[in-house]
Amino acid sequence: GTIEAERADLELDENCVHMLPRLADARYWKQESIGEVTFAAADGRPIVEFFAADGVAYESLHPVSPLVALTAQ
């Protein structure tokens, strides 16, 4: 699938990209109606997909490894 509607620009800390180089392609993020969050490339290709975990955190569903966590600040 691709992400085209209702997306927002994504700004990642350079340390995140250093730890997981595939994030260098991520340009947008989108929260789905069921709560998942997706980081996508400029062409809409999903880079990382997250699901709601305990508390305010999200954990990566794809890719499975390495596990990536997303937290609210």
Residue 73 pLDDT level (bands cut at 50, 70, 90)? low
Determine which helix (DSSP H) or strand (DSSP E) holds 18, and give its type and residue range. helix 14-19
Whether residue 37 contacts residue 70, with contact meaning beta carbons closer than 8 Å, is answered with: yes
- 0.75 exceeded by pTM: yes
Task: Express each pLDDT in 43-69 by its tens digit.
Answer: 999 999 988 877 667 888 777 667 787
Lowest mean pLDDT among 7-11, 24-28, 29-33, 36-40: 29-33
Task: Express each pLDDT in 3-13 by its tens digit.
Answer: 555 789 998 88
Phi, psi of 15 (to 5 degrees): -65, -35
pLDDT recorded at residue 2: 52
Token pair belonging to 41: 């490339």
Alpha carbons within 13 A on the beta-carbon side of 29:
13
